[in-house]
Structure 1
């Protein structure tokens, strides 16, 4: 009897201790505002978050589809690709969003832990998509979360052994109502059912095209156009290609003569030049443009190339001008495309040093006849179409490699400090740097991922966490 009482006392003590630990943990978890809703799975981590009732399905190849407990929200609104609507990083559907300026504390809706990386989100049909990396399983992980609360709906994983090199994943998916396409750090191009996560097809660009993955891994973001996805393998024979979303079969393939051009971190931009749609890409040996109709190589510019890392996408202006920019002292070059006697030519409008205007990572924004971007010393800067620098934010106001976008017609530029995680609201005009508000939304270490804004909700990411913030 005495032994039974002793056992019962021990069990009771263990239960009390466990309960106390749980209570302390719950009470001491950080909160970033009264409206914060914690993702119930965000801290159940073995590699990446996984529900206790996970269902694993074979989805073809070596990948696995994990069904989770999340449910898509019913709200409309989308951010379908890198740089958002029209590839501009300008949001025109949020009128009046900034009638009240940003103030502390940030109203965090949910947070989700991630593997190390800088991959940005896409949003559609109440779902948030991004590519992640699971360091425990050593797998790329294409994840689908509920836009409402951040709870995972499904994830599709496939094995990839990769070492940390400034994180792993660093691209933005492309999505429509049926298809989701991602590019992994080692060149795995994957097309899934956007609703269910089931595999349509997958291509290893290295094996299939002879792609050479750039240092710091693949950074190119896929582009969905109608029934095809556009990608630049820049392999031994194929420079750019259009792949059928349903089958993965090529609709056309632009040649890469001599395998001259290699893949960079830059992404493809659309240009409608005098009724002819083109895809413009900054490859390793210069700029190339191909016909969207059949992949025919239209023109090249071997004078614009960056040997270390070419990251920003070409900025197309009025479908006849293009800004090229980059880090590592590349500066910026602004050109006009003309066609004379059937031949394409680039006429230089301006060329400026990096200290005047350049961007090492984020793609600059063209807005109301001016360019905005974070220059290599970390300052936010504005130049006009002649290359004249109109203003800089100042040496006491730097943003590192932080992302940014513009909300129109409010005329507001949002820029994220990559180390502090503070989001700044800045007036987007040519007069001066004018700060309107700010709020801390992330812990901030290497907050480099492209942001997304849908229905007044901002998605932003630092090295290991994705956050959803209410801005209304």
Structure 2
């Protein structure tokens, strides 16, 4: 060092000691984090909300833990039988086509169409089912932390009754999701955490309540369940996609009539079941996590399946029956669209893509 110059070099103990100290502290911090991670409890099987599963009654134990009920009018009070019906998701024939003969208005006044009545609902995407002058909607009550099936009079919007069961749902793109299904005798709902409830359509009396997670090992889809129940005759058809891919449940009793095996362990998506007929065979088409399958409406046998259509992030839209054994599939998350052809030959079914459209 030249005379008069000042040294800026740190002492040797700082140059060697500080790096060693930082390395020791880093190792200690890493060890603490790993131990904390390994000792943390395993994640719950029920994501996105309450980690305990509410105790709900089965078909044989309705006398205990029965969900709450409130009637606003005397049980069975008649309501005006207004014409028209939309008894579930996509309407009477599951095709989103109304066959009513009421003429549509060609124009509205500047203030919009007249509002006959309105009611306040919780946040979400649930839509109503309508039949015999009654409106049914599966709402969510944040204050009570419960799914609530509500019944209104179509004529004036007066609430007739409501039946609820406890389940904590976090706000995740809203709370409510699905459309109930009704045949005028029963109403069936499927809640965001895969609880299925069946009640009397007039009185609201509880028939049965099932937890698909407990009974079938269903995995609640991310952003909650979006599947809408399908009523076919005296049964409700569901796709739990757990120990069974599809099941048929007798509405009057809650008893399982048949089940479709799920050997490939497909999981539940947001898509709903589509009933179609190919040749003389009635079937239900379902888009699961691993592909698309058609199951027999008679006994639940898998008639055909394909993995040519899957969506990595979330399968949401329900297929569309376009006739002659063809079903149209579409999806978000860059999935595009596909048209599948289902063919029957000597009692056996095969499926092939007719075309696929990439996302734009």
TM-score range, shorter chain: 0.7 to 0.9
Residue 256 of structure 1 is matched in structure 2 by 262
Specify the SS of the correspondent of 1:109.
coil
| Contact kept in structure 2, 1:59 and 1:198, CA below 8 Å | no
Residue 299 of structure 2 is matched in structure 1 by 294
Residue 358 of structure 2 is matched in structure 1 by 353
Q: For residues 303-323 of structure 1, what are the alpha-carbon distances to aligned partners after superposition, in whole Å with 9 as ceiling and x for unaligned?
A: 111121111111012241000
| Contact kept in structure 1, 2:146 and 2:165, CA below 8 Å | yes
Residue 200 of structure 2 is matched in structure 1 by 193
- The structure 2 residue matched to 1:207, chosen from 214, 220, 234, is 214
Deviation at 1:151, TM superposition (A): 1.4
| Contact kept in structure 2, 1:261 and 1:283, CA below 8 Å | yes
Specify the SS of the correspondent of 2:208.
strand
Q: Note the residue ranges of structure 1 that are not aligned, 5 or more in a row.
A: 1-57, 356-472
Q: Does 1:134 align with 2:141?
A: yes
Deviation at 1:149, TM superposition (A): 1.4
- The structure 2 residue matched to 1:62, chosen from 60, 66, 89, is 66
Q: 1:154 to 1:95 in 2, by over 3 A?
A: closer
CA distance in 2, matches of 1:311, 1:102: 33
Q: For residues 436-468 of structure 1, what are the alpha-carbon distances to aligned partners after superposition, in whole Å with 9 as ceiling and x for unaligned?
A: xxxxxxxxxxxxxxxxxxxxxxxxxxxxxxxxx
Give the total of aligned pairs: 295
Specify the SS of the correspondent of 2:85.
coil
Q: 1:319 to 1:171 in 2, by over 3 A?
A: farther
Report the TM-score when normalising by structure 2: 0.79
Report the TM-score when normalising by structure 1: 0.60
Q: Note the residue ranges of structure 2 that are not aligned, 5 or more in a row.
A: 1-61
Specify the SS of the correspondent of 1:90.
coil
Q: For residues 178-208 of structure 1, what are the alpha-carbon distances to aligned partners after superposition, in whole Å with 9 as ceiling and x for unaligned?
A: 1000001101000000000010001000011
Relative contact order, higher structure (CA 8 A, sep 6+): 1
Residue 160 of structure 2 is matched in structure 1 by 153
Q: Does 1:285 align with 2:290?
A: yes
CA distance in 2, matches of 1:341, 1:175: 36
Deviation at 1:62, TM superposition (A): 3.5
| Contact kept in structure 1, 2:305 and 2:351, CA below 8 Å | no
Q: RMSD between aligned alpha carbons?
A: 1.6
Residue 240 of structure 1 is matched in structure 2 by 246
Structure with higher Rg: it is 2
Residue 316 of structure 1 is matched in structure 2 by 321
CA distance in 1, matches of 2:340, 2:225: 27
Residue 116 of structure 2 is matched in structure 1 by 109
Residue 171 of structure 1 is matched in structure 2 by 178
| Contact kept in structure 2, 1:323 and 1:334, CA below 8 Å | yes
| Contact kept in structure 2, 1:117 and 1:167, CA below 8 Å | yes
Residue 128 of structure 2 is matched in structure 1 by 121
Q: For residues 231-289 of structure 1, what are the alpha-carbon distances to aligned partners after superposition, in whole Å with 9 as ceiling and x for unaligned?
A: 00001x2110000001111110001114x210000000011010100000000100011
Decide which structure has greater strand share.
1
